Structure 1
Amino acid sequence: MPSQSSIEHHSWWKKIKNHRYIRFFLFLIFGLITFGLLASNVIPDNIDIEAGAVSTQDIRSPVTIEKTEETERIQQEAAESVEPVYTLNARYADNQMERINDVFHSIRLIQLEVREQRGDFSNIGDAEAGVTQDEDQNVWTMEERIEELQARLSPELGEQLSEETLQTLLNASSEELQVAQEATTSAVYDVMTEEVGLGDVSEARENAEEKVRAASVRAGLSDAMTEVARRGITANYMIDEEATQEARQSAAEMIEPAMIREGQLLVEEGQVITAEVYEDLSLVGLTDDNYNYSPLLGLAMLVFLMMFVLALYLNKAKTSLQSNNTHLLLFMLVYALTLILMKLTSFLYQTDLPGVSYIVPAAAGTILVAMLLQSRVALFMSFLLSIAASIIFNQQTSGMMDYSFGLFVFFSGIAGVFFLNQSNRVSHMLKTGTLISLINLTIVMALILLKSLPLSIAELGMYAGYAVTSGYLSIILAVGLLPFFEAGFGVLSTSKLIELSNPNKPLLRKILLEAPGTYHHSVVVANLAEGACEAIGANGLLARVGAYYHDIGKTKKPQFFIENQMKIENPHDKIPPKKSAEIIIAHPYEGADMLRREKFPKEIIEIAEQHHGTTLLKYFYFKAKEAGEKVSENEFRYPGPRAQTKEIAIVGIADSVEAAVRSMQSPTFEKIEDLVRKIMNDRLEDGQFDECDITLKELHKVFLSICETLKGTFHSRIDYPDDEDMKKVEGE
């Protein structure tokens, strides 16, 4: 058999495609390719400049970053500019009142103790009693009384009040002390209830002195009261450290961070690069002395996430990529090819043509995946491509990603998938390209309006022209590359199926000319199988084309099959049943060999090879037993394999049903339904569906679809009256 060009037939791929780690290595290699293509777009351009030099170009920041030192400096200045917070402490007035009352209370206690020493309990002071220190040696002297009084008073007052004042108060009578206490405390209270700052203490003391001297007391006592009052006045309007700290903290927090914004102009062409400007350039990673590896690390994480999400999706989605590593390799090659096309297109930016990057054939990859594999996978691919495109086409932005271009690639890609589904014939590709171009034009105009780009009419026309060209380039590339991928990977696409269904194909012509009954049988089977597959969501077109070729093996000995035995003697009547069975059983495998030699897709070959599964040739088996031969049932069974897919199972059902119904005498709807049900039940009980994933619910839908199609084929016809009947009618 001639060697085939499909990768499936290469020995090296056969050895590794089912290796347990092959999928991991495919994703790893694909991730490295993606990283390599995107790396140059995320590395900041280092500028060869020095402080004090003149810039030869406008330089903008590629990132948004905070100037930490500048922010701290501004915050410090803001905090220091906040004035201290003062508060009136009402407790100070109460404290001073308590101290003054304590002075007079201590004096009364000492006077009481002195009277007890004398044995004199009259309520008069020493000055009124005319007592001197020498009259009674057991009584405290004035010096001792003053010392005792100073010891009992608080340190502030005890040390501040003069001995003369203390002596005056110790010599005062009870009535004088009462008047002095009331006048002094009243004066201190009145002054201390007002705000008394540190600079206002002297004035407050003078105010208190005026109030005290207004009292009607003797001159000496008035002086003592004045001194007590002055010492009782202190500052009560003080700095609140906690409130001041909070105010300064709040002022610092109100300061916006000093930022360098993405796209901010750091230095203009011809401007001298000062030390401050150079520091900013270094901070954003544009100088040689501050190379920043974080973009590469970020890209690596993004690519890993893209590969991880892709692996999860392909593992969950019920597509051929879930287990078919050949299809996975095909997907990754198409993806990589699309990335390379985008990378090459991005270099056109250097031509300075407005909007030239929009000429990228972004939809080519998704169209190829939709045609070769599955539309849902193509939609997911457009999402990943949009992420990559936003990095590849970042020349027009100062940042690492241009999300607007990502949107363009995303919408262009999904447009290719959606419109291809509606018109998937090669002859309609021009229409598909036109629709993609319209979507491209719409999204480009939308982006221009969103950005409010000040474009001239000529520039606007160039943007539109490139977007429209992108749509047509995408479809041209997809159609041009499609045959190479089909041949290289043995993929059976929709366009390939349509091509194989052409009646002028050599093998179909061979069936028609050498086995016309088989050809008619195959066409009916194709109609039955296609409708049943579409009823359960299987590939109806694959079933139709497979049915066309499923009996190609009968062309080896067409006269041994009943549909071709018109006006000839049945050759099976002249040979033993076992020999007849061997001829009949051989046709699926002879047909598969013929298809392999013609390099047909493996899906068509499998339909031809598996459509009979391991069913039993009951007619010849029982004929052999009736003839008295000792036979085994396995000798009259097809060797298989059994149907591996839904499409093969349905073609097998349709094949048996068509042959059985064709041999019926006077078929009715009821008879047809009973026959179809019996055939399907026999195959189910015989285990012919055990190796494919068709369900009982789907088999019921297949039953309904086949019966509906057969009813249309064997519909009741009107019995037209013959000539004799017409004469009788006319005679009447």
Structure 2
Amino acid sequence: MTALKELLSQLRKVKFTFLLLLVVSLSSILLFFLMYGSTQNETYEISAFEISPKTIRSPKTIEDIEKTELERVRAEQAVPNSYRFSEDIMKNRQAILGSIFTAVSDVKVEVKKDPDMTSDTKMKLLQKKLEGLEKEQTLLPVTDDQFKQLLSAEQGDLNNLHELLTHAVGRELSKPFKAEQVPMHRYEVERNIRETNTLPRDLLDVALALGRMAVVETEIIDEELTVKNQMDARASVEAIRILQGQVIVREGQLIDRDVYHQLKLSGVLNNQSSLKPTLGIILFILFVSGLTAIHFGKSKRDEIFKKKALGIFYIILLLAVVLMKIVSYIDYEFDVLIAFLFPTALVPMLIKLLINERSAVLATIITSATAGIMLQEGLAAIMQMEVALYILFGGIVSIYLLSEHGRRSTILQTSLGVAGSNMMFILFYLLMTQTSYTTPELIFYAVAAISSGLLSGALTMGLLPFFESSFHLLSNMRLVELSNPNHPLLKKILVETPGTYHHSIMVANLADAACEAIGANGLLARVGSYYHDIGKTIHPGFFIENQHNGRNLHDALTPEKSRDMIIAHAEDGAKILEKQRMPKELIAIARQHHGTSSVKFFYLKAKETNPDVNEDDFRYPGPKPQTKENAVIMIADSVEAAVRSMKEPTPEKIATLVNAIVRGKLEDDQFDECDLSLKEIKLVKQAINETLNGIFHNRIEYPNK
């Protein structure tokens, strides 16, 4: 504890910007090492064709790209070719027949011009005319002898043959059929030719050969449609995935090639370490650190408070992460989700009570996200979302339920509210999982929800005094406790100096209203006002509010002695509070509420006998008010005492008096050491005037009976 206080003392001398970078950097490194193990999947030393030592599940959902592609290729190859009927084929084949007969006729014309042309010359001339068809191998079924027969035939017979073939081939090619049906349609053409009696016998073989040559399939492959159907078939095959949590191999089962391939894809083999999770954690911590740095960097509070708040924020956050680490170690030993035992409201309640609500919201978000990563069961793709939401909702509920100005008893009430919230979330979780749970499991989850809420409250109440004393913090919770009229020091003031007690209550009302008007800590001003004059309990009779018998003890004292008695109450009060180990803020109020003001009454009285008396000898030792709250209490203290002495206070008189007192303090430079602006002083005067007018409003005079 002493070492921590010494460290805090040294840190007060460091610039906040440097401290912010230092704390965020060191905390980020600690956070990384605490979170690192939570992102590493369990791996196994396994080879193919071994017996699995345990049941292994996939830690993530991953696509088996190789197997998916194989299935898609199979689906693509299973798609039959698509065909379309082409009428152009009939026309093309009839055109080929026409070209053959035209070529034969042309050669016959040449023969007439040269009757001595040999048979070979005729064939060469014909082959030259049919050169294109020969290159396409269209004329393969027709022999040279058959062409010679055509050349030797009569022109009339050729014309009949041409007409016959055009008709027979056209009739068959007008029908749609594929390659495997070609023989049947060639047979039909042959049958039609044989049934015709108009052909000479020597041209029958030629006619049959030409007919067979002309018949080809009329349905051709539609490449575009075929490709489209293949692509559709590929697309219809869904990606083959290994699902998160899916059992890849059971204990005692042989690990064949397919199972080993799935284990390899899932990344659970020992030789498959990956840097991706580590890089992800680094990015997460950088994001959280940057967000925290922005949050505290933009805070408008003073540097001392920001330094303390920064330390408290990260200490609580790291404590929570350590607790998550402990929970994660024992989580694997149970079939139920042990993470539901984590105290969901611990971090937000502590930070709200010690810092503020805004910081508590940020801490809740960071804690829930961190818990989702650290408390996962190893089967979550990124984080255990139900755990993250569980802690997020529990934390948010606690922030709304916990009153900043409540007593410690409100922590218990908040804990019960958080327990109820946890129960509702776990019920939602159990219903959404659509899984059957045993009675012991249901009992565990109910107990976990309640325990999480109550544990949050218990740990908050246990840790709160540690942070308050270590960081010298005066939380709102502590202030509320100190405002309890049953506090021994307040009872002391009430019993020993009842007039001072009433004066302190009035000052508290004025100071609270004025501080709220300028955005200062009204609760601190109120509680500080309760204790600011506790030094008067040492010599209560020397203060006018405690003199009830008409006797003034100062009448028997010299001005110097009276001065000492009056001035001493500020330091006496500070010493009493120090002895009782009261917060330093209240001690400062007791010591500073008069600043270095002069005790004018006794100064003027001393001047009557000694014109050369020095006014500085009749001033409080100070120091001057160091904070806005202390300055407001100084004004409220002087105003209350002055207004109480007025016989018939009216709003105009009160306003004039308040202005005069504040102006006197300004001219006496009492506000030089605090950051109270002129605009805020104006607001303070307005608030004090309104409060005093409410206290001293005109009352209706009731008739006496």
Which interval holds the TM-score relative to the shorter structure? Answer: 0.7 to 0.9
In the TM superposition, what whole-angstrom CA distance separates every residue of 1:316-346 from its partner, at most 9, and x where no partner exists?
Answer: 5666799712211111111212222333344
SS in 1 for 2:130: helix
Give, in whole Å, the separation in 1 of the partners of 2:600 and 2:102.
Answer: 132
Counterpart code for 2:436 = P
Aligned pair partner of 2:172 in 187, 191, 194 = 191
Where does residue 352 of structure 2 map in the other structure? 370
Structure 1 stretch 55-64 or stretch 160-169: which is displaced more? 160-169
Displacement of 1:110: 6.2
In the TM superposition, what whole-angstrom CA distance separates every residue of 1:188-240 from its partner, at most 9, and x where no partner exists?
Answer: 33333333433333433343445566778552667656554443333343334
Report the CA distance shift for 1:324/1:182 in structure 2 as closer, same or farther (over 3 A): same
Query: After superposition, where does 1:714-729 map in structure 2 within 5 Å?
Result: 714-719=696-701
Give, in whole Å, the separation in 1 of the partners of 2:328 and 2:360.
Answer: 23
Where does residue 475 of structure 2 map in the other structure? 493
Structure 1 stretch 205-214 or stretch 288-297: which is displaced more? 205-214
Where does residue 568 of structure 1 map in the other structure? 552
Displacement of 1:637: 12
Give, in whole Å, the separation in 1 of the partners of 2:129 and 2:334.
Answer: 99
Q: How many residues align?
A: 697
Answering whether residue 129 of structure 2 is matched by residue 149 of structure 1, we say yes
Give, in whole Å, the separation in 2 of the partners of 1:272 and 1:9.
Answer: 61
Aligned pair partner of 2:315 in 313, 333, 340 = 333
Where does residue 82 of structure 2 map in the other structure? 85
Aligned pair partner of 1:522 in 501, 504, 507 = 504
Structure 1 stretch 27-36 or stretch 84-93: which is displaced more? 84-93
Query: After superposition, where does 1:218-229 map in structure 2 within 5 Å?
Result: 218-219=199-200, 227-229=209-211
Give, in whole Å, the separation in 2 of the partners of 1:499 and 1:183.
Answer: 121
Displacement of 1:588: 7.0
Displacement of 1:654: 2.9
SS in 1 for 2:12: helix
Answering whether residue 450 of structure 2 is matched by residue 468 of structure 1, we say yes
Aligned pair partner of 1:7 in 5, 10, 18 = 5
In the TM superposition, what whole-angstrom CA distance separates every residue of 1:282-307 from its partner, at most 9, and x where no partner exists?
Answer: 33233323334433333333333333
Contact 1:613 1:643 in 2 (8 A): no
Where does residue 425 of structure 1 map in the other structure? 407
Where does residue 449 of structure 1 map in the other structure? 431
Give, in whole Å, the separation in 2 of the partners of 1:28 and 1:413.
Answer: 26
Where does residue 41 of structure 1 map in the other structure? 38
Aligned pair partner of 1:76 in 73, 77, 89 = 73
Report the CA distance shift for 1:608/1:423 in structure 2 as closer, same or farther (over 3 A): closer
Answering whether residue 188 of structure 2 is matched by residue 207 of structure 1, we say yes
SS in 2 for 1:87: strand
In the TM superposition, what whole-angstrom CA distance separates every residue of 1:40-82 from its partner, at most 9, and x where no partner exists?
Answer: 3332222344444433432222222222322232223222222
TM-score of the superposed pair, with normalisation by structure 1: 0.78
Structure 1 stretch 600-609 or stretch 550-559: which is displaced more? 550-559
C-alpha RMSD of the superposition: 4.9
In the TM superposition, what whole-angstrom CA distance separates every residue of 1:214-268 from its partner, at most 9, and x where no partner exists?
Answer: 7785526676565544433333433344443443333233222222211111222
Displacement of 1:476: 1.8
Give, in whole Å, the separation in 1 of the partners of 2:150 and 2:493.
Answer: 142
Report the CA distance shift for 1:208/1:275 in structure 2 as closer, same or farther (over 3 A): closer
Contact 1:61 1:398 in 2 (8 A): no
Report the CA distance shift for 1:218/1:65 in structure 2 as closer, same or farther (over 3 A): closer
Give, in whole Å, the separation in 2 of the partners of 1:608 and 1:5.
Answer: 29
Structure 1 stretch 94-103 or stretch 162-171: which is displaced more? 162-171
Give, in whole Å, the separation in 2 of the partners of 1:287 and 1:293.
Answer: 15
SS in 2 for 1:266: strand
Displacement of 1:584: 9.1
Give, in whole Å, the separation in 2 of the partners of 1:509 and 1:526.
Answer: 16
Aligned pair partner of 2:524 in 542, 549, 555 = 542
Answering whether residue 239 of structure 2 is matched by residue 257 of structure 1, we say yes
Displacement of 1:378: 1.9
Contact 1:55 1:273 in 2 (8 A): yes
Give, in whole Å, the separation in 2 of the partners of 1:344 and 1:351.
Answer: 12
Report the CA distance shift for 1:251/1:527 in structure 2 as closer, same or farther (over 3 A): same
Counterpart code for 2:10 = W
Give, in whole Å, the separation in 2 of the partners of 1:166 and 1:599.
Answer: 130
Give, in whole Å, the separation in 2 of the partners of 1:430 and 1:169.
Answer: 116
Displacement of 1:421: 1.4
Give, in whole Å, the separation in 2 of the partners of 1:150 and 1:216.
Answer: 29
Give, in whole Å, the separation in 2 of the partners of 1:152 and 1:59.
Answer: 70
Give, in whole Å, the separation in 1 of the partners of 2:155 and 2:563.
Answer: 146
Report the CA distance shift for 1:325/1:422 in structure 2 as closer, same or farther (over 3 A): closer
Report the CA distance shift for 1:205/1:688 in structure 2 as closer, same or farther (over 3 A): farther
Report the CA distance shift for 1:166/1:677 in structure 2 as closer, same or farther (over 3 A): farther
Where does residue 279 of structure 2 map in the other structure? 297
Contact 1:364 1:474 in 2 (8 A): yes
TM-score of the superposed pair, with normalisation by structure 2: 0.80
Give, in whole Å, the separation in 2 of the partners of 1:261 and 1:541.
Answer: 57
Displacement of 1:488: 0.2
Give, in whole Å, the separation in 1 of the partners of 2:129 and 2:260.
Answer: 74
Counterpart code for 2:62 = I
Give, in whole Å, the separation in 1 of the partners of 2:290 and 2:345.
Answer: 23
Query: After superposition, where does 1:336-355 map in structure 2 within 5 Å?
Result: 336-349=318-331, 352=334
Give, in whole Å, the separation in 2 of the partners of 1:231 and 1:19.
Answer: 99
Contact 1:5 1:487 in 2 (8 A): no
Report the CA distance shift for 1:269/1:163 in structure 2 as closer, same or farther (over 3 A): closer
Structure 1 stretch 450-459 or stretch 583-592: which is displaced more? 583-592
Counterpart code for 1:295 = P
Displacement of 1:508: 5.4
SS in 1 for 2:402: helix
Report the CA distance shift for 1:704/1:58 in structure 2 as closer, same or farther (over 3 A): same
Which runs of no fewer than 5 residues in structure 1 stay unpaired?
A: 115-124, 727-732
Give, in whole Å, the separation in 2 of the partners of 1:629 and 1:153.
Answer: 142
Contact 1:56 1:269 in 2 (8 A): yes
